[in-house]
Amino acid sequence: MIDAKDIETDDILRILPGETIPVDGIIIDGNTSVDQAVMTGESLPVDKEVGDSVFCGTINRFGAIDIKATSQGEDSSLHKLIRMVQDSEKKQAPIQRIADKWATWLVPVALFIAIVTYFTTQDIVRGVTVPVVFCPCALVLATPTAIMAAIGQATKHGIIIKSGETLEKMGKTDTVAFDKTGTLTYGKPEVSDIISFEPDIPKETVLSLLASAEVRSEHPLGKAIVEYAKKKNIPIPDAEGFRMEAGRGIYAFVLGRTLLCGNEKYLKENGIDIQKKVTDILSDLRNQGKASILIAADGRCIGAVGLSDVLRPTAKEMVEKLCKMDTSAVLLTGDNRRTAEYFARQVGIAVVKAELLPEEKVRNIVQLQKEGRTVCMIGDGVNDAPALKTASVGVAMGAMGSDIAVEAADIALMSDDISKIPYLKRLSNATVRTVKFSISLSLFINFVAIFLSFTGKLTPTTGALVHNAGSIFVVLIAALLYDRKFDS
């Protein structure tokens, strides 16, 4: 046992089940399954064998492996991820507030008009009245009052908005990039298909035998199968002689039957004949983005169970609403391509970028921004944090998302309800329109008041009343945002 800081490149390390992999490396001995959600966001552990790469910060779930360190310390993938978050923070350009654009020239213009009025009319009262009515209080109040009302409105709907600039940016967003696992989906596998390859063996028996074999397994797929069998009140007999080969499959003895459960390769290695109809079914399951487990009893492959991540029921309608608001949707995920494309079809997303590492997600967002897009990124994991920082607006799933993702994001959905995204877009649009309308109204009142001051219709006293009336109007208009009804 050594400190992680003492590891050097080319060192040989043994990683036991349950341990966090301390450096990037290549497996030189053993098989395992690695939970690399921290790097790729994949919902299931990935099977690894000799020659495969492993990443710093990921978790070795099952088998003991020996790895050769390829990078460590500041050069590791996890430290690069942390640096990307920090760099994205520095690169984010501050938005120029709408009111600021006017304020740069408004006061000088007011003073110039006051001077012109005095020299033209030779009336000091008229000259003094102009700056009184032109004082930009209403203009200055337009943005903060609207933003305060909108943030209060969003909070009532379980959405935390960290700044007013975020609302203005969200109002300009024309592209929303989604992570898949934990965002469009729940990130938890569930049994979706139970298939029997033998006419005399019902599906319930296939599930019962498989659940019995998996009841001692710590693999997420095994746990999902057992949980599903219990929910369906399927009997789970006791298993004997349980043995697991990490990343391959399990052996068990149930009700007098010798069971082998695992992937196609595992069954073939143990002398089980896999017929073409079985491989065709497995191919169909893979095309639907599903994981599968085969079960063989006494030397015959008798069935298979398919498992899939579960799509959030509101995802499809949410994407449709965004499209109606002329906002395009993009899927950026670390999951495999078949799974990503399957779920993208389910929700109606045409542009899919799959098998992405964190830096590749960032590059895709930067490319969209170079094309003139204003991008909102929605994610939940540590691996999404750099992309959340790089995007014009970052939205994190606040309830299930990682602390790093929530910290990196500009907005947090505390209920993890992605159906709130169209509401958030409508609220942001309404806020920007309210700010622009209030600014326009205040300028209109000011210019009318200037004309009346120039002609002597207003005095400093009546001008102050008109000026204050403008401020009151702006505050009342902003207050309407707080209780406005938006379709969610």
What CA–CA distance (Å, rounded) separates 353 from 291? 20
Q: Render the burial of 113-125: b for 16+ CB within 10 Å, e for the rest.
A: bbeebbeeeeeee
Among candidate residues 368, 361, 385, the one with its CA nearest the CA of residue 83: 385
Q: Which residues contact 154 (CB under 8 A, 6 or more apart)?
A: 160, 161, 424, 427
> Which residue is associated with the tokens 């049994």?
191
Q: Which residue in 47, 179, 416, 417 is the catalytic one?
A: 179
Q: Are 159 and 412 in contact (CB under 8 A)?
A: yes
SS (H, E, C) 392-415: CEEEEECCCCCHHHHHHCCEEECC
Nearest CA-CA partner of 204 in 233, 184, 177: 233
Is 179 part of the annotated catalytic residue set? yes
Paired tokens of 467: 């000026």
Say which residues have a Cβ less than 8 Å from residue 256's Cβ, sequence separation at least 6. Answer: none
Strand partners of residue 32: 48
- Token look-up 């790895």 returns 67
87: tokens are 């760099």
CA dist., res. 460 & res. 113, Å (int): 15
Measured in residues, the chain has a length of: 488
C-alpha dihedral, 163 to 165 to 169 to 170, nearest 10°:
30
What residues act catalytically? 179
